[in-house]
Amino acid sequence: MTPEFEWKTTREGWGHGLVDVGMTFEDVVVLVGDLTGSTNVNFFKEKFPDRFFQMGIAEQNMANVAAGMSLVGKVPYYATYSAFGVGRVVDQLRVTSGYTPCNIKIGGAHSGISVGPDGATHQMMEDIAILRALPNFTVIAPADYDQTRLATIAVHEINGPCYIRFGREKVPVVTNPADSFEIGKAQVMAEGDDATCIAYGQMVSEALIAHDLLLEEGITLRVLNMHTLKPLDEDAIIMAAEETGAIVTAEEHQIYGGLGSAVSQVVCQHYPVPMEYVAVMDRYGRSGKPEELLDAFGLRHNNIIRKVKKLLDRV
């Protein structure tokens, strides 16, 4: 039996989280680059019009205007697609907000292949690699609506640049709004000792389906939701290596520089075990329906299952 999920967008979680955090803290301001509706900052705009800034299609300016606001005590959250809010502004993020560092929060919408028909330009799959490489950045990719909402609130507690990644389409709700969300602390989503799947974002739900299907064959797969890509929960990874002896990572991101690379580093250094990777294999995306693309790019529970079996053959 595969689980039945409720489906909601993560970007709505960001939108509602902004209103929550804006109610609590008056220092919260929101900036957007001509994408108010699709990044769901419209909720904040309606509630706090004075603290909302339309910056037009000018991401480089927006990133550093946010940095400037942070210098005098604001906590700016800016929103656009991750392709532009990360991709377009790498130098601004590296020198101004990373190096200084500045207390800005970035919302990166439309990440991953599941963006669908817009195609490769909009399917950002290099954001995690870019931002993990920048000192002082906190990088979060929540699994679902509720977790995105909690992450949007939680980053206010961190005094430094933070990134929250979210997608375009509705994704399964896999966490509980009552769950605690701790930045840098992986969540055990399902128990198991034969192998571990470490995933983030939408791939957590695919891992949970893989867990259930493997159980029918008597294989127990631990599922870790690694919602924080930086700082990485090394203890949870080492424990998974020690206790399950095999790890597959799963992500809607390029193979180079993503979660797979990050986990490998920890595993190699502390407790080497066989690993496999479910990721985008060093290619750009393309147009198509989200489901069609997840299938074609091998980002499904059956891909996870295949990799788990491959691992079990090895250990």
Ligand X SMILES: Cc1ncc(C[n+]2csc(CCOP(=O)(O)OP(=O)(O)O)c2C)c(N)n1
Residues forming the active site: 59
Q: Is 88 in the site for other proteins (CB under 8 A)?
A: yes
Q: Residue 80 or 147: which CB sits closer to ligand X?
A: 80
Two structure tokens written together for 80: 């656009």
- Residue 2's φ and ψ, nearest 5 degrees, are -95, 150
77, 84, 200, 277: which one contacts ligand X (CB under 6 A)?
84
Of 252, 231, 245, the closest CA to residue 314 belongs to: 245
163 SS3 class: strand
Query: Least distance (Å) from ligand X to the CB of residue 231?
Result: 30
Asked if residue 88 binds ligand X (CB under 6 A), the reply is: yes
- Contact pattern for other proteins over residues 29 through 58, marking x by CB under 8 A: ---x-xxxxx---------------xxxxx
The answer to whether residue 118 forms part of the interface with ligand X (CB under 6 A) is: no
User: Is residue 87 near other proteins by the rule CB under 8 A?
Assistant: yes
Q: What is the torsion angle, in degrees rounded to the nearest 10, for the CA atoms of residue 88, residue 92, residue 93 and residue 97?
A: -150
Taking the C-alpha atoms of residue 259 and residue 249, their distance in angstroms, rounded to an integer, is 7
Pick the piece of the chain touching other proteins (CB under 8 A) from 10-18, 155-163, 217-225, 285-293: 285-293
Q: How far is the CB of 176 from other proteins (least distance, A)?
A: 33
Provide the minimum distance between the beta carbon of 119 and other proteins in the complex, in angstroms, as a whole number. Answer: 4
Q: Name, in order, each residue with C-beta under 8 angstroms of 50's C-beta and a sequence gap of 6 or more.
A: none
Q: Which range of residues in 30-38, 159-167, 205-213, 293-301 is near ligand X by CB under 6 A?
A: 30-38
For residue 148, the minimal CB distance to ligand X (Å) is 21
78 binds ligand X (CB under 6 A): no
- How many CB atoms within 10 Å of residue 288? 16
The answer to whether 27 contacts ligand X (rule: CB under 6 A) is: no
Based on CB atoms, which residue is closest to other proteins, 17 or 116? 116
CA distances from 57 to 85, 157, 205, 238 (A): 11, 29, 34, 43
Q: Choose the stretch contacting ligand X; rule: CB under 6 A; options: 27-35, 67-75, 240-248, 266-274.
A: 27-35
When CB distances are held under 5 to 8 angstroms depending on the partner's kind, the choice from ligand X, other proteins, none that residue 60 binds is: other proteins
Amino acid in the structure at residue 169: E
| Structural tokens at position 73 | 């005590």
Burial of 80 (0-12, 13-18, 19+ CB in 10 A): buried
Question: Cα–Cα distance between 258 and 229 in angstroms, integer?
Answer: 8
The DSSP secondary-structure symbol of 98 reads I
Amino acid at 138: T
296: Cβ–Cβ under 8 A, 6 or more apart, which residues?
A: 288
Question: By rule CB under 8 A, what count of residues binds other proteins?
Answer: 32
Shortest distance in whole angstroms from residue 87 CB to ligand X:
8
Residues that bind other proteins (CB under 8 A): 32, 34-38, 54-58, 60-61, 83-84, 87-88, 116-122, 284, 286-289, 292-293, 296
Residues that bind ligand X (CB under 6 A): 33-35, 57, 59, 84, 88
